[in-house]
Amino acid sequence: MAEFKLPHNHGDSKNAIKIHRELSKLSRFNNASELFKQLGDTTRLRVFWLLCHREECVINIAALLNMTSPAVSHHLRPLKELKLIESRRDGKEVYYRAADTAASKLLHEILEQVMEVSCPEAEENGATRREIIYEVHEYLTEHLSERITIEALSKKFHINTTTLKKVFKEVYGDSVASHIKKHRLEKAAALLKSTDKSVLLVAKEAGYDSQSRFTAAFKNEYGMLPTEFRRQSKTKM
């Protein structure tokens, strides 16, 4: 088969062959189309959203949505066929909940973003994550002389690295590295003012393993070399 080429080359056809190959897989698009078709119903989306937050039997789902049990069952069937929800039997009772799959979780997230509603679990988790970030921040400021990686923090505080970086920036308005760098330089400035420790020792206590790197960072932040900063600070005293 000849390699696919666009009729017009506008200089951005680098991934055209791959895109053309994926577009040719009609069955995948048919499956996606069927998924969206089944979700094109307000009640069905309400049922799905409900089951993302609690496991329930048909009778309780009906009560929460002010519907009849047969009507609820009508909407549960296609959701289960699409593997967006799953069920379990306990005696005579059948309980339904959102499936623990990537597709189900993604749909849940998209649905709440489109509706602009808060996820009960997300609010609770968000508060918990912020508390963890406060602990991370306290730990870092107490260990400024140490070089601590994001991965090490992730393991110590049992939080995903991506979430750690994201929530830290939300709370403190800066990345972990940039924020802690400011704390390190503030500590260095305080040491230069209040002690006669050498610049090398100040650099190490501020978490820098290289005096030259520390000097460059300090000058970039304070507009002068550490020695100049110390001299000016003592002159003002």
Please tell us whether the domain made up of 36-104 is placed in CATH 1.10.10.10.
Answer: yes
**DSSP H or E stretch at residue 98:** strand 93-98
pTM of the predicted model over 0.85: no
Of 115, 121, 125, nearest to 167 by C-alpha is 125
- For the chain, the distance separating the N- and C-terminal CA atoms, rounded to the nearest angstrom, is 82
pLDDT by position in tens, the chain (length 237)? 567 777 777 766 667 778 888 888 888 888 888 878 878 889 999 999 899 888 999 999 999 999 999 999 999 999 999 899 999 998 889 999 999 888 888 888 888 777 765 555 554 455 578 888 999 999 999 999 998 998 889 888 877 787 888 889 888 889 999 999 999 999 999 999 999 999 999 999 999 989 999 999 999 999 999 999 998 887 765
pLDDT value for 17? 79
What own/partner pairs with CB < 8 Å and gap ≥ 24 does 187-190 have? 187/144, 188/214, 188/218, 188/226, 189/218, 189/222, 189/229
Q: Report DSSP state, residue 3.
A: P
List all residues 6 or more positions away from 182 whose beta carbon is below 8 Å from its beta carbon. 174, 221
Q: Report DSSP state, residue 151.
A: H
Domain 36-104 matches domain 179-236 at the CATH topology level: yes
Fold of the domain spanning 179-236 = Arc Repressor Mutant, subunit A (1.10.10)
Q: Where are the alpha helices (DSSP H) in the chain?
A: 16-23, 26-38, 42-53, 58-65, 69-81, 102-115, 120-142, 150-157, 161-172, 176-194, 199-205, 211-222, 226-236
pLDDT value for 234? 76
pLDDT value for 118? 52
Q: How many CB atoms within 10 Å of residue 188?
A: 26
What own/partner pairs with CB < 8 Å and gap ≥ 24 does 157-164 have? 157/132, 158/132, 159/129, 159/132, 163/129, 164/132, 164/133, 164/136
Of 57, 151, 68, 69, nearest to 95 by C-alpha is 57
pLDDT value for 65? 93
Q: Show me where the domains of the chain are located.
A: 36-104, 127-173, 179-236
Residues facing 90 on adjacent strands: 93
Compute the half-sphere exposure of residue 5: CA atoms within 13 Å on the CB side of its CA.
5
Q: Are 199 and 213 in contact (CB under 8 A)?
A: no
Which amino acid makes up residue 79?
Answer: L
